Structure 1
Amino acid sequence: MKNYLFYVLFFIVTSICSQENDNVALKFKEYLGYVKKYHPVAKQAQLNIGIGQAKLMKARGGFDPKLEIDYDRKKFKGLEYYDLLNATFKVPTWYGIEFKGGFEQNDGDFLNPQNSVPQDGLFNAGISIPIGQGLVINDRMATLRKAKFFREQTKADRDILINTILYDASLAYFDWLKAYNEKEIYDSFLKNAKIRFEGIKKSVLLGDKAAIDTVEAKITFQNRALSLEQAKVKLTKQSLILSNFLWFENNIPVELQPNVIPDPNVETDIDVTLEIEGSPLSDFTLENHPKLKSLNYKIEGLEIDRKLKANKLLPKIDLEYNFLTETPEVSRSFTTAEYKGGVSFRFPLFLRKERGDLKLAKYKVQDAEFELETTQLQIKNKVIGIYAELESFTTQNQLIATIVTDYNTLLAAEERKFSFGESSLFLINSRERSLINAKLKSVEVQNKFFKAKAKLFNSLAVNPQSL
């Protein structure tokens, strides 16, 4: 609740500042912190952990002790045909062995002789052991093992989901920054065009300039105004796209106020925020990549299923032995001479279903292994390509910065010549258009550079812990 009030207060203050024409920079790290903590998809990713824990709890339930009570009675025309009571307590264990204890009390005029027990009932305690199918691995063991792998897989999948939403949010922020910088460029050159237009009008009135220069200056001014309006519309659209990633507690969406602007010095924070700082290609490894960890856990689960299917090829042989006594005092009353035991044997002759299930299980494992190998290669090549891209963009940024500086020099020289009457408004406008295009190109290259960093963050599947 305190956090919620703080954020509400923050945006109220932001709104007030807007009225006073004071801009507030939304820091990149602060923005991603909001996304990671409050975005519904980020919360949805956390739900997967709960799902994994719930499945693990469900699988462990297969080893819970069980109490079973069967009571059956038949009475007709004054005769009690039978009155049967059978209570059993079972404790399953890991290797398919099951310990049992029970009580049986039966009575009736037409009681089946095999159900005859002493008047006060009969106690039993024993064990059931599978010596073929189900001893090394069984359904309960397989379900629990797969649930453990699934729990770890959900953690890796959670990291992937969070990384993806942070990646998409980063792209939205960089596009917002690009639109803002373009708007600022057009805004500054509109001011220059207006000043030049006003100056030429005065010069025309004084007779220093031809009247046609006023028309050309006006056209330039109007073109700059048109470009600025288009840039403002683009900035508004990008602000709304960015707002899709901003939420508060209780799933309350947030809309950016007009005075909220991107951080102009974001370049210094990107690597630290995305935790890709100091990650040279030579240090790149695939061992801890969440996507590969998820696939490995998937393969482990499928391998457990394959082993279970292979175990189904064995005959099902169950041995059961129960000591019998009329009193529940185990240490004194149980003897090997009084018991109930048996053996059961089941084995399908052709094993077509079992062999078919085993083949399908093997194919699933092979399919997952192929997917793992393909994904490893794709990630490796993608990361190598991004490092090369980043290196190229570093060079491109240096080149475009030099180009912008040179165009600035040319424009300043042309304006100086114009003030001496040695140049024309046409040449100044031409130099200025070249400078505008160079600055826009610089903004575009910078945007691609930032997006390449975000792609590296996404390819490495980093889950920033500092946010």
Structure 2
Amino acid sequence: MKKLYIIFLFLSFASFSQNELATQLSLEEYLGYVKKYHPIIKQAELITSTNEAKLLKARGAFDPKIEVDYSRKEFKDTEYYKKLNSTFKIPTWYGVELKGSYENNSGQYLNPEFKTPEDGLYSVGVTVSLAQNLFINKRMATLKQAKLYAKQGKLEQQLLVNDILFEAISAYLNWLQYYQSYDIYKDYYTNANTRLQNVIKSFKAGDKPAIDTLEANINFKNRQLDLEKSKIKYIKSKFELANFLWIGNNIPMELKENMIPDTNTISNIDTILNTSVSVLFSDNFDNHPKLKLLELKKKNLNINKQLMINNLLPKVNFQYNFLSSKVSNLDAFDVANYKNSLQVSIPLFLRKSRGDLKLAKVKLQNINFEIASTKVSLQNKVTATEQEIESYQKQNDILKKLVNDYTTLVKSEERKFSLGESSIFLVNYREVKLIESKLKEIKNQYEYAKTKSKLIKLLGNLNSL
């Protein structure tokens, strides 16, 4: 199976096999794999599917219903009773239910109340809630909430994908950072080895003292140690990156050993992320998915509050049915033949309903506080992140100048050393400072790019890449 993964990767990047980028994995390609195959992103799609199923279930409360109730009793050749009651009900949006039924009952010991004509008895009628449950009831509230849940599911999916893409981008940038650091240590390891060999030759020729060979050898071993440390960091970052790479059927992907990141990623970060700071801030902040999600939750709680207010009303249910022994036409139902009923129920203290309403109001107050707090928090985080980006840009300019200056110093010191006017100690010291400044530059570029992606994440736009 492991060989299969490697073969797949080889085929995936075969299109680049004819040029110098044959072993490069760009951020765009990498994000393409993440968005298409990552299991958690696929799992995020289930949020929408789950809420759509809940919506379908809520709509089921308004499905027409057929009910048949048949019972019969015979004992010692005597038919005690035979009862058939079939009903067709149509629930409507408000507290009204349409109903048609057919009854056919007979038997020696049948309750006279249930007696029907020989051909049965037909009825057409309506059941109406005159107070509680007229304008809102449990099934209406459930359906409204289910529609909101469907919208909430899409926003929750968007936020989850946002988080995964941010983590994936961070892993790629981390891989790039340690690759560049490892590359620097490789170069200076080679330099240290070359310098050591030159010093040994100069010592043998009598031009340099023995102590210089020891100094050069110590420097070489330090470079060797630094190289090994940077190598393990690079390897670990590569495995962390591989956590986000998958192919179909939930199969993890392995990177080829010679696969490297695109070193032009930082300079092209705005193009890759498909945005810039000025474009980001032209967007309406109220459209942030997190705030929209909270607004939908608020609407959901408002529906619940309306339902609690409804429960304060008395239960007054009225039912009226026209009766007929035949259904040849509508005229068969005479207003003189009918059956009706009225049920009234009023709790004396309404303590349960009042308590539920109070809780609903508290939840609404809580969500209002959360919306206000979240909005201010997001605005402050976005402002702080924007300032971070500006700071990293300034730091990058300073670090570039430092690298150039230290490079000049190292070259000058090496020239003086070759002329016998400097020492190996000063050359090594200058080189250490140059390496430090280059590593700081790489670290700063990593933080700059990561902060850019963090800004897009804060604004909820990463999944639009």
| Matched ranges for 1:319-358 at <5 A | 319-358=318-357
Cα distance in 2 for residues equivalent to 1:414 and 1:126: 104
- Is it true that 1:304 corresponds to 2:303 in the alignment? yes
Cα distance in 2 for residues equivalent to 1:374 and 1:189: 51
Q: Is the 8 A contact 1:183 1:228 kept in 2?
A: yes
| Matched ranges for 1:361-400 at <5 A | 361-400=360-399
| Matched ranges for 1:158-237 at <5 A | 158-237=157-236
| Matched ranges for 1:152-163 at <5 A | 152-163=151-162
* SS of aligned partner of 2:286: coil
Q: Is the 8 A contact 2:174 2:446 kept in 1?
A: yes
| Matched ranges for 1:94-109 at <5 A | 94-109=93-108
- Is it true that 1:65 corresponds to 2:64 in the alignment? yes
Cα distance in 1 for residues equivalent to 2:51 and 2:23: 42
| Cα displacement string for residues 212-256 of structure 1 (whole angstroms, at most 9, x for unaligned residues) | 211111111111011001100011111111111111110001122
Cα distance in 2 for residues equivalent to 1:214 and 1:314: 97
Residue 283 of structure 1 and its aligned partner are, at CA, apart by 2.2
Cα distance in 2 for residues equivalent to 1:9 and 1:195: 40
| Cα displacement string for residues 187-210 of structure 1 (whole angstroms, at most 9, x for unaligned residues) | 010111111111111111211111
Q: Is the 8 A contact 1:124 1:325 kept in 2?
A: yes
Q: Is the 8 A contact 2:166 2:462 kept in 1?
A: no
Matched letter for residue 160 of structure 2: L
Q: Is the 8 A contact 1:14 1:259 kept in 2?
A: no
Tell me whether 60-69 or 444-453 shows the greater mean CA deviation.
Answer: 444-453
Q: Which residue of 1 aligns with 2:408?
A: 409
| Cα displacement string for residues 399-456 of structure 1 (whole angstroms, at most 9, x for unaligned residues) | 0011000000111111111122111111110100000110111111111111211210
Task: Indicate the RMSD between aligned Cα atoms, in angstroms.
Answer: 2.1
Structure 1's consecutive aligned runs of 4 or more residues displaced over 6 angstroms after TM superposition are: none
Residue 356 of structure 1 and its aligned partner are, at CA, apart by 1.0
Q: Which residue of 2 aligns with 1:48?
A: 47
Cα distance in 2 for residues equivalent to 1:246 and 1:376: 34
Q: Is the 8 A contact 1:183 1:235 kept in 2?
A: yes
Which 5+ residue runs of structure 1 have no aligned equivalent? none
Which 5+ residue runs of structure 2 have no aligned equivalent? none
- Is it true that 1:450 corresponds to 2:444 in the alignment? no
| Cα displacement string for residues 339-379 of structure 1 (whole angstroms, at most 9, x for unaligned residues) | 11111111111111111111111111211221111111111
Q: Is the 8 A contact 1:273 1:464 kept in 2?
A: no
Q: Which residue of 1 aligns with 2:269?
A: 270
Q: Is the 8 A contact 2:9 2:256 kept in 1?
A: no
Cα distance in 1 for residues equivalent to 2:86 and 2:425: 103
| Cα displacement string for residues 107-151 of structure 1 (whole angstroms, at most 9, x for unaligned residues) | 011111111110110111111111100111011110000000000
Structure 1 279/96 Cα, relative in aligned 2: closer, same or farther at 3 Å? Answer: farther
Q: Is the 8 A contact 1:204 1:210 kept in 2?
A: yes
Matched letter for residue 92 of structure 2: T
Cα distance in 1 for residues equivalent to 2:29 and 2:217: 43
Cα distance in 1 for residues equivalent to 2:222 and 2:140: 74
* SS of aligned partner of 1:345: strand
Cα distance in 2 for residues equivalent to 1:79 and 1:8: 83
Residue 281 of structure 1 and its aligned partner are, at CA, apart by 6.8
* SS of aligned partner of 2:285: coil
Q: TM-score, normalised by structure 1?
A: 0.95
Cα distance in 1 for residues equivalent to 2:255 and 2:30: 11
Cα distance in 1 for residues equivalent to 2:57 and 2:270: 42
Cα distance in 1 for residues equivalent to 2:150 and 2:108: 56
Matched pairs, number = 461
Q: Which residue of 1 aligns with 2:463?
A: 464
Q: Is the 8 A contact 1:246 1:253 kept in 2?
A: yes
Cα distance in 1 for residues equivalent to 2:413 and 2:78: 122
Tell me whether 205-214 or 179-188 shows the greater mean CA deviation.
Answer: 205-214
* SS of aligned partner of 1:328: coil
Q: Is the 8 A contact 2:89 2:100 kept in 1?
A: yes
Cα distance in 2 for residues equivalent to 1:347 and 1:437: 81
Q: Is the 8 A contact 1:324 1:340 kept in 2?
A: yes
Q: TM-score, normalised by structure 2?
A: 0.95
Cα distance in 1 for residues equivalent to 2:383 and 2:460: 15
Q: Is the 8 A contact 2:122 2:323 kept in 1?
A: yes
| Cα displacement string for residues 38-90 of structure 1 (whole angstroms, at most 9, x for unaligned residues) | 11110011000101110000000000000011112222232221111100000
Residue 294 of structure 1 and its aligned partner are, at CA, apart by 0.9
* SS of aligned partner of 2:256: coil
- Is it true that 1:436 corresponds to 2:424 in the alignment? no
* SS of aligned partner of 1:83: strand
Q: Is the 8 A contact 1:274 1:462 kept in 2?
A: no
